[in-house]
Amino acid sequence: MHPLYRQRRGGVLLHPTSLPGPLPRGQICHDAYRFIDFLQQAGITIWQMLPLGPTHADGSPYLALSAHAGNPELISLDWLQDRKLLDNPAQVTDFVQHRQQLEQAWKRFNRQRPRELFAAYEAFVAQQAHWLNDYSLFMAIRESQQHRAWTEWPPPLRDRETSALQRSRSELAERVEFQCFCQFIVSQQWRDLKQYANEHDVKLLGDIPIYVSLDSADVWAQRELFTLDSAGHPQQVAGVPPDYFSETGQLWGNPLYRWAVMQQDNFLWWRQRLQTQLALFDIVRIDHFRALRAFWAVPAGATTAMEGHWVEAPGDALLETLHESFPELPLVAEDLGMITEEVHALRKKFGLPGMKILQFAFDGDPNNHYLPHQHEFESLVYTGTHDNDTTLSWYRQLNEQSRRHVREYLGLSDDTTMPWPLIRSALASVSCLAIVPMQDLLGLGSEHRMNTPGTLEGNWQWRFDWEQLPVDLTQKLRHLLHLYGRL
């Protein structure tokens, strides 16, 4: 087991975009440092978040434009001002203005070339060349193509013909360099934030989506690793069969991996991907871990995920390779949904903790493995995840019989105190890590949920405000963490 799993800890789930701030989504700004201070004061030692990649227009962190890059929208302009790359920036209220400020900072950086920072920039570009070269060119071309997906680019660019790429790299040189600059800055800012968190006894728990977006630098640059036709269109796509969230399954649409091709170089793509993420986080969760044992393949063009079928994957060989490169294998397995004994065996073989969701526990079956008395130490327990409704709303939407069952199990005489009884139950669990979404700590309803699976509108937008924090929240959390041995 990774050292972080050897003692009981408490954590909070909050994506950085949910932090307060002047822009439509949160950033790596002073509020991020203030949040770490709040965690330390409360005795919380894990900050869990979602993937940090640059998003498409829908804002989903699970369909990023790169498996390696950071989201430039997270960049704090104050950090640039502190390093004299910006003068006192005007009040920025949207990401168009934010990007304009980044452009100004880049021009000054390029003109003045501050010695230490520029040396760090050159080192970053050289060290990250294995993904940054393709990503920066991809984003520059995408911008020149009115942000159309790469499958809609002129065939020479779509198919990466050498002469077309050389011409674009020359004609778009400034835009390529700007993309590199943005990646350097977001990397530097996140490095500083992680260092501050670790110095304050807070570890960062990240998230790796099992699949990548079709419209991404990764797929464009390495099409041979994905099940695509000659024009770059998927032949099969990812999804899951009918489950808790959808009666017809979930049709994600990501291209599937050509696992046999990936094995030829000993899973280099995965090793590089994990290396990038471990520079950002102390441990990372693999979303949809079960696809490493068998994945749901849906024919391209299908209207629902029900038309898919299971296909075996070489998860054992992949994890063996990753274990050789990263001996302590700092991973968490998201093992929710239709999980077989083979998936559990794969997880346990490599000492990876799974997940227990309390909102899934109360179906009346005393053998439900999400119930606290069924938990095991090698697991993370959650009241709910970013895909669940808030606990308060979940409880209110249960029928009376189910609410009565919850109250009886938790020893409640009434239901006026939710969600804290479920939070207390998570902290009391034998699971080594207990994670609570920030919405539950604030006692918020369904209008504050982060994501509703199977929907395209209104997701990934939730923010909290410091004024929402009860004055006794840190004291209350610290008391419970001490009471249940997680301090």
- CATH number of the domain bearing residue 420: 3.20.20.80
User: Which of 8-22, 45-59, 385-399, 412-426 shows the lowest per-residue confidence on average (mean pLDDT)?
Assistant: 412-426
Give pLDDT, residue 1. 75
Tell me, yes or no, whether 357 lies in a domain.
Answer: yes
Tell me, yes or no, whether 275 lies in a domain.
Answer: no
Residue pair 427/8 in contact (Cβ under 8 Å)? The answer is no
Task: Examine the residue annotation and report whether 440 is marked as an active-site residue of this protein.
Answer: no
Give pLDDT, residue 65. 98
Which tens digits make up the pLDDT trace of 78-114?
999 999 999 976 688 899 999 999 999 999 999 999 9
Give pLDDT, residue 132. 98
Q: What span, in angstroms and rounded, lies between the C-alpha atoms of 405 and 420?
A: 16
User: Which of 4-13, 56-65, 450-459 shows the lowest per-residue confidence on average (mean pLDDT)?
Assistant: 450-459
Q: Check the CA dihedral 360-364-369-371 and report its sign.
A: positive
Tell me, yes or no, whether 269 lies in a domain.
Answer: no
Residue 265, phi then psi, degrees to nearest 5: -110, 30
Report the SS3 class of residue 284. strand
Q: Check the CA dihedral 416-419-422-423 and report its sign.
A: negative
User: What average pLDDT does range 413-432 have in this prediction?
Assistant: 93
E strand segments, 22-61: 46-48
Residue pair 58/456 in contact (Cβ under 8 Å)? The answer is yes
Residue 381, phi then psi, degrees to nearest 5: -105, 140
Residue 338 confidence (pLDDT) above 90: no
Token pair of 140 as six digits = 């520059």
Catalytic option among 287, 335, 378, 440: 287
Tell me, yes or no, whether 311 lies in a domain.
Answer: no
Structural domain harbouring 22: 1-48+330-487
Give pLDDT, residue 205. 98
Residue 337 confidence (pLDDT) above 90: no
Give pLDDT, residue 456. 83
Q: Which residue in the block uniquely carries the two structure tokens 């390779």?
A: 321
Tell me, yes or no, whether 253 lies in a domain.
Answer: no
Tell me, yes or no, whether 259 lies in a domain.
Answer: no
Token pair of 18 as six digits = 């949910």
Which tens digits make up the pLDDT trace of 284-321?
999 999 999 999 999 999 999 999 999 999 999 999 99
Task: Examine the residue annotation and report whether 387 is marked as an active-site residue of this protein.
Answer: yes
Tell me, yes or no, whether 469 lies in a domain.
Answer: yes
Catalytic option among 215, 334, 335, 389: 334
Range from 231-235, 238-242, 247-251 that averages highest in pLDDT = 231-235
Residue pair 431/380 in contact (Cβ under 8 Å)? The answer is yes
Token pair of 239 as six digits = 């999804």
Say how many domains are in the chain: 1
Residue 247: pLDDT band with limits 50, 70, 90: confident
Q: What span, in angstroms and rounded, lies between the C-alpha atoms of 39 and 432?
A: 18
Task: Examine the residue annotation and report whether 287 is marked as an active-site residue of this protein.
Answer: yes
Q: Which residues contact 247 (CB under 8 A, 6 or more apart)?
A: none
Report the SS3 class of residue 147. coil
Catalytic option among 316, 376, 387, 415: 387
Give Dmax over CA atoms of the chain in angstroms: 73
Residue pair 227/258 in contact (Cβ under 8 Å)? The answer is yes
Residue 243: pLDDT band with limits 50, 70, 90: confident
Tell me, yes or no, whether 104 lies in a domain.
Answer: no
User: What average pLDDT does range 214-226 have in this prediction?
Assistant: 98
Q: What mean pLDDT is reported for the chain?
A: 96
